[in-house]
Homo-oligomer: A and B are copies of this chain.
């Protein structure tokens, strides 16, 4: 690619504030900010449609019930007056709505670097890295391979590097070369040292989630009191659709909730497989499953920061394979947005695709999913950068390419783009230029051109001849070169050596203790 879109810039000094750091050698990227989505959401349903889905979800909760395998949850539901038969829990809509009434519509999460605080809810929209693929693909390797700690660390470096990525999700690739009993210790150590953004804990057994909370405390230099006083991390759980919540996920959420941390509840309702073939049915099931858990958490600690997630898509009815970024996915996301606003809950969606490589299909599917996140009023966009093959592959090239799309969305939301002040309407400039001139050189342009338009870093806007002379490099290959450059020049965010050593010691001690059980 030669240097298309890349600008190497070395910074000797500069401001120390991590929020302003861009690393030593960088592309030109947009600054860190919490984008505000001012678009009126796209709402496919009228009031009756919203009422129909709400009523369906409530009928599921009242008449069919949700299975909770977690004993503690069952006891809590009993205590709350719900109808518990074995593992089946039925709950009245009045109680559910009363519990949801406690949930905040907006809250903050503060990571170890307070400049990276994020606000979840309202009109804010946040983007996170791909989470949890077991496999990795890049153009150098050229094939799908099991994830490694080094690949995981590189994707964490990208997560840190890009200002448009607001939080660190789950493992950006599963490091299969680290034993599952201690994997969380190594990856969270990497996450704490390579990033200073909001971090996530898997709810896969009490040790994992408690260890992450301890490490977040250590990294932030927080007492237990300070930690529990407000959210500093979060967990994300999936239900076992249809109609079921398993033991460790609810356990992890209860641990987070009791210590004031945030939870995201995201059913995975694939229409035609573990959910009805109709999109409204799949959304209704998803809503019921999510609300049943959120109601529990609000009962345990009213006012707990909870997010309702959507992961409703459809299968390919020819093969049964999951499909993502489809028209049905977009509508389900928009409808879930309507429901989230109906319940007054912040919402999570995703940036997803079924494509196996970072090509055209990958980008139209991902664009569909990211724009549906915008259209739906989504607050938290999971998997927004780096996802391939329905979440089975993480790709650094795709990460880079997705960040271009995310930056464009961020730019799209800047009020300056739609400014209609007299200076922006620019009748005087039009008069000055007249019918035979051009606008390049005039003062009105000179005063504004540096900030006037989005500047891409991987898109190549040169004409064909210049692009050809530079090697005819297609987008994925350009992204690969940018990935290598970012990694080779990456500088971790600052961390006090005392804290780093404390983290290291914690990891060593917990490894000696055997880490976490792997029989979940």
Interface residues of A (CB under 8 A from B): 38-40, 42-45, 48-49, 52-53, 55-56, 59-60, 63-64, 66-67, 88, 135, 137, 143-144, 242-244, 271-281, 284-285, 314-321, 323, 326-328, 330-331, 335, 354-368, 371, 375, 389-390, 392-393, 401, 404-405, 408-409, 411-412, 414, 417-427, 429-431, 433-435, 437-440, 444-445, 448-450, 452-455, 458-465, 467-468, 472, 474-476, 479
Contacts and interface: CB of A to CB of B under 8 A. Distances in A.
B368 A408 contact: yes
A276 B45 contact: no
B426 A276 contact: yes
Contacts of A427: 56, 59-60, 63-64, 281, 284
B418 A279 contact: yes
A42 B37 CA distance: 12
B418 A49 contact: yes
Contacts of A438: 242, 273-274
B364 A474 contact: no
A321 B418 CA distance: 22
Given A418-B335, A425-B56, A453 B321 contact: no
Given A48-B420, A277-B439, A365-B459, 6 more contacts: A49-B420, A279-B417, A360-B363, A363-B364, A364-B364, A364-B366
Given A45-B420, A420-B49, A476-B360, A448 B316 contact: no
A160 B291 CA distance: 49
Nearest to A38: B44
Contacts of A389: 463-464
A444 B476 CA distance: 42
B39 A40 contact: no
A238 to B, nearest CB: 15
B424 A392 contact: no
Given A314-B452, A430-B276, A392 B464 contact: yes
A417 B317 contact: no
A376 to B, nearest CB: 12
27 contacts: A40-B40, A44-B417, A45-B420, A242-B439, A273-B440, A274-B438, A276-B424, A276-B430, A277-B444, A278-B423, A279-B419, A280-B421, A281-B430, A284-B426, A284-B430, A314-B452, A314-B453, A317-B450, A321-B463, A327-B412, A328-B411, A328-B453, A328-B454, A335-B418, A356-B462, A390-B463, A393-B464
Q: Which of A135, A366, A434, A459 has the most CB of B within 10 A?
A: A459
A337 to B, nearest CB: 13
Nearest to A419: B280
A426 B357 contact: no
